[in-house]
Every structure is written in structure tokens, then in C-alpha cells.
């Protein structure tokens, strides 16, 4: 018995301590089909983490940036944050009788998506300001939490935070397990994304970069308060992404992932850096399990970046063929 228990202990120790154990060798990306895309990712990570190797990058420089909409979670029929704004307009309408006759609010209240689209960028900006400003940062977090806990996607009938891509969750964890720091760099609102980034993606609030409105510090009834103002602070899209990364992170990423032309500059800036770099594009090719769209889509248009991918060496994920699972199983 003693002998047996000793070998058991030795076995346990070898499993726990050996870097080449059965546990360590389990596939870290099970939702990715074997093939060139998965191989490219794994071989890049092995290359930059191989101590003594020619392409070794120390952990503090292993910065990975991920777009959010259409890259970590879905973005159809429209950006989920816009659906949040629409729901907020409906909820706040009783306090704003004037909205019945005023665009773009009228369009929202009448469910007239064509009229809403016609209101353009200015109309959307007006919706965002009316629903995202005029409260403290704490109050806004509560409003977003409440919405995310109850709102349901029109097609999939699941909570929005369930419509994250399982393969990308695995990729985030795989990179972190290999010493990377993972960031979100989103065109969406920084405080909106921060609301769920840690529980859903394992990315803490400080590692979220996004668009923002201005905030103002003020004593309210003697209590220090941060108030959200109806004034744009920063747009974290296109040329704004490298600027936002520079402001928040202060370093060029080693790895960047996006899915639309809004990510072109982030990908270009990342992969133009010296030494090994990696650019990843998620191409939505799966109308059955998710959506199929690229050049002609108004939400998440992928055109210029798709054309540039081959030349720039960016790896394009074919969602239909590269992913054997899209969303996490129902939980």
C-alpha cells in the first residue's frame, strides 16, 4: 500500500509539475478547427514565447488588442449599444413628452427604423447623448447592468452577453496563459463595455479602451461625484484606435484582432512594428449559425481591410470553416 501511494504521489506530482504533461498538452483552442488559421495563431504564440528563440518577446511587451463589436460578440442587426439606447429612449419617453414629435426620438418610439437610419450620425449621436449622459458614472453602470441582465437578442432570444464568440474566449484565455495582457479596443462606449468585460471576457475595466463622452468631477450634496456630460470626448474608431491605444496602453500591440474597416489602422499600426507581429481579421461567413456580411454591410463593413489582408500578412478567420462552435452553449 505504501508503495502504491508513493507512485500515486509521484504521478500526481509529475502531472502537476511537468510542462509537457497531459494537462498542458490539451488543446487550448478546441472551438477552432485544425487548419492554417489555428496553426498560424499557435505558431506565432509559440515563437514569441520561446525563451532564447530569435523571436522571443518578454511578457511585458506581449500586448494583445481586440475590437469588441463583431469581433468578441455579435453586432447584428445593429450594434448592441444602439439597441440599449433605443430601449432607454422608450423607458425615458414618459419624462420627455416632446420626443413624440422630435426626430430621431419619434422614429425610435414609432419603431420606424428607416427614419432612424435617415437621421444619420447626428441622429445617433443625439440618441446616445440623451441616454448616456446626465447621470453619475455609478448610476450609468447600474442602468447598463440592469439592461444586460434582462434584454434579449431579437433573433437568438438570448442575453447579449451570451452572444460572445466561444473561439475568441478561448483565444483570449490562451494568450493570457502565455503571458499576454489582453485589451479591448472598441468603437463602443468605454463605460458600456467595462460593465461586462471582466465577468464575460476576463478583461478588467482598466484594460478597456473605447469611445467616451466627457465627465466632470463635482461635489453633489458634499459627495464627490463624476457626472457624465452630453459632450463627445473621444472617438475610438479608425485613426482613433492607434491614438486610443497610445493614450491608454502607451505601447504598440504585438497582436491585434478586428473584423471591420474600423480596425484597419489598429491592424496596420500593430503589424508595421518591428519584429514579429500578428494581425487577425474575423470574417463573418456563416449566415446559418451567425451572419454573413462584409463589403456591403453598413454595420461592421469589411472591405478595405479584407483587400489589404494578403499584402499585409493579416490572417483572415473564415467563421464558417474555422470555427466549429460560434456561441457558448446555453447556460
Residues at the contact surface with a copy of itself, assessed by CB under 8 A: 60, 137, 181, 190-191, 194, 198, 204-208, 212, 215-218, 223-224, 226, 233, 239-240, 242-243, 246-251, 265, 268-269, 272
Residue number, 18 or 247, with CB nearest to a copy of itself = 247
- CB 186, CB 51: distance < 8 Å: no
Opening angle at CA 31, ends 53 and 65, nearest 5: 55
CB atoms within 10 A of CB 129: 17
Residue 291 C-beta: closest distance to a copy of itself, Å: 29
Supply the minimum distance, in Å, between the C-beta of residue 63 and a copy of itself. 8
Q: In the numeric block, which cell numbers belong to residue 16?
A: 502537476
> Closest distance between a copy of itself and the C-beta of residue 12, in Å?
18
Nearer to a copy of itself, 86 or 280 (CB): 280
Please say which residue, 117 or 249, places its beta carbon nearer to a copy of itself.
249
Task: Say if CB 184 and CB 49 are below 8 A apart.
Answer: no
Bond preceding residue 55 cis, omega within 30 of 0: no
CB of 178 to a copy of itself, least distance (A): 18
Q: How far is the CB of 59 from a copy of itself (least distance, A)?
A: 10
Q: Which long-range contacts (CB under 8 A, 24 or more apart) does 140-146 make?
A: 140/191, 140/228, 141/191, 141/195, 143/88, 144/84, 144/191, 144/192, 144/195, 145/195
Nearer to a copy of itself, 70 or 242 (CB): 242
Cα-atom radius of gyration of the chain, to the nearest Å?
Answer: 22
**Nearer Cβ to a copy of itself (181/257):** 181
Tell me whether the omega of the peptide bond preceding residue 233 falls within 30 degrees of 0, making it cis.
no
* Shortest distance in whole angstroms from residue 268 CB to a copy of itself: 5
Interatomic CA distance for residues 73 and 299, integer angstroms: 13
Nearest residue (CB) to a copy of itself, 108 versus 209: 209
Q: Which three cell numbers stand for residue 221?
A: 450634496
Amino acid at each position: 500500500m505504501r508503495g502504491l501511494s508513493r507512485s500515486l504521489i509521484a504521478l500526481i506530482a509529475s502531472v502537476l509539475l511537468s510542462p509537457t504533461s497531459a494537462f498542458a498538452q490539451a488543446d487550448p483552442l478546441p472551438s477552432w478547427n485544425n487548419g492554417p488559421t489555428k496553426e498560424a495563431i499557435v505558431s506565432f504564440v509559440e515563437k514569441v514565447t520561446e525563451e532564447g528563440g530569435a523571436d522571443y518577446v518578454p511578457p511585458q511587451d506581449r500586448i494583445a488588442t481586440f475590437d469588441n463589436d463583431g469581433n468578441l460578440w455579435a453586432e447584428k442587426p445593429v450594434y448592441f449599444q444602439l439597441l440599449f439606447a433605443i430601449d432607454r429612449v422608450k423607458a425615458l419617453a414618459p419624462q420627455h413628452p416632446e420626443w413624440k414629435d422630435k426626430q430621431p426620438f419619434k422614429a425610435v418610439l414609432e419603431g420606424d427604423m428607416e427614419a432612424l437610419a435617415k437621421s444619420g450620425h447626428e441622429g445617433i449621436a443625439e440618441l446616445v447623448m440623451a441616454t448616456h449622459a446626465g447621470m453619475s458614472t455609478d448610476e450609468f453602470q447600474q442602468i447598463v447592468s440592469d439592461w444586460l441582465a434582462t434584454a434579449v437578442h431579437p433573433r437568438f432570444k438570448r442575453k447579449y452577453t451570451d452572444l460572445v464568440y466561444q473561439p475568441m474566449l478561448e483565444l483570449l484565455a490562451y494568450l493570457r496563459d502565455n503571458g499576454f495582457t489582453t485589451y479591448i479596443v472598441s468603437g463602443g462606449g468605454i463605460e458600456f463595455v467595462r460593465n461586462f468585460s471582466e465577468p464575460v471576457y476576463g478583461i478588467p475595466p482598466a484594460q478597456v479602451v473605447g469611445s467616451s463622452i466627457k465627465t466632470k468631477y463635482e461635489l453633489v450634496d458634499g459627495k464627490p461625484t463624476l457626472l457624465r456630460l452630453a459632450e463627445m470626448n473621444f472617438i475610438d474608431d479608425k485613426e482613433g484606435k492607434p491614438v486610443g491605444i497610445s493614450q491608454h496602453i502607451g505601447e504598440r500591440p504585438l497582436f491585434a484582432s478586428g473584423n471591420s474597416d474600423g480596425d484597419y489602422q489598429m491592424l496596420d499600426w500593430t503589424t508595421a512594428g518591428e519584429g514579429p507581429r500578428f494581425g487577425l481579421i474575423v470574417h463573418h461567413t456563416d449566415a446559418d449559425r451567425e451572419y454573413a456580411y462584409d463589403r456591403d454591410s453598413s454595420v461592421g463593413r469589411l472591405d478595405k481591410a479584407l483587400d489589404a489582408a494578403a499584402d499585409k500578412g493579416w490572417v483572415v478567420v473564415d467563421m464558417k470553416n474555422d470555427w466549429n462552435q460560434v456561441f457558448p452553449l446555453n447556460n
